[in-house]
Amino acid sequence: MSQRSDWLPGTRDAILAMVKVWITIITTYLQKWGIAESVVQNLSTLATAAENALDASQNDNTRTPVANARCKESFDALTAEMRDIKKRYFLSPPLTDSDFVALKLKPPNSTHTPSPIPTDQVKVETYLMGRHELGVKIVYVTGSSANPANKGYRIWYSVVAPGETPPARPDDLRKSFYTMRKKHLVQFDYNESGHTTYFAVQIENSGGKQGPWGPMVSALIP
């Protein structure tokens, strides 16, 4: 499943170029920006894994369906971490406009009236579609889509193989995508059939701020 925020580059090579810039700049400003060293270390590890996986998927000697699936998984993990870092550290002071430009991001519009932070809660209901596909339906637990704060939905998920430890809470889910629709088709890799996917969703406003977690649900990937 591949759906990304608009600020992410459109190619994997460009994503790698961006994250290398991030690593250099974040390392320089760790203390100033209040970022733990472990954050940049984890980002570096994910970037290296993604770069190696991309090389393997493009090499005539190593390019296989498994290599392609691993490449997708590596970039899903990397971009999820980039989204998390941007949300946690780049959307509040002490970054300046020049810092945003250096990070290859658009500076926030200081004259923009902020959208209210969502307070309503929604949950996900899943239903079968086709092979390697699940449908997800957004259902409001409190409030309604008429609330001006409720611009869209950040759906978080993780795929867990048989025998692996499942996530204990929504905060443990590492991948996400954004949608403005109440129904969405989720497509998985062919080798994820028989695995269990866990979902939880947060309402998201136009500024990228999220509301409270909905309950975590699970479904078997057909």
- DSSP-assigned letters across all residues of 45-66: HHHHHHHHHHHHHH-TTT--HH
70-74 long-range contacts (CB < 8 A, ≥24 apart) are 71/12, 72/2, 72/189, 73/189, 74/46, 74/49, 74/50
Token pair for residue 75? 């970039």
pTM of the full structure: 0.51
Architecture of domain 122-220: Sandwich (2.60)
CA geometry: angle at 122 spanning 181 and 80, to 5°? 70
Domain ranges of the chain: 12-102, 122-220
Q: How far apart are CA 163 and CA 183, in angstroms?
A: 30
Q: In the chain, helix, strand, coil percent, each to 5?
A: 35, 20, 40
Helix (H) or strand (E) holding 198: strand 196-204
What is the model's pLDDT at position 100?
A: 85
What is the model's pLDDT at position 111?
A: 56
Q: How far apart are CA 133 and CA 186, in angstroms?
A: 6
Q: How far apart are CA 14 and CA 199, in angstroms?
A: 29
Tokens 């940049």: give the residue: 40
Token pair for residue 19? 């994250």
> CA–CA distance from 208 to each of 139, 145, 163, 186, 192 (Å)?
20, 16, 35, 22, 30
Q: How far apart are CA 85 and CA 96, in angstroms?
A: 16
Tokens 């409270």: give the residue: 212
* Number of Cβ atoms within 10 Å of the Cβ of 171: 11
Beta pairing partners, 124: 138
Rounded average pLDDT per 10-residue block, the chain, 222 residues:
62 94 91 86 94 92 90 94 88 78 79 77 92 93 91 93 94 90 91 95 89 95 94
**SS3 state of residue 159:** strand
What is the model's pLDDT at position 89?
A: 85
What is the model's pLDDT at position 2?
A: 39
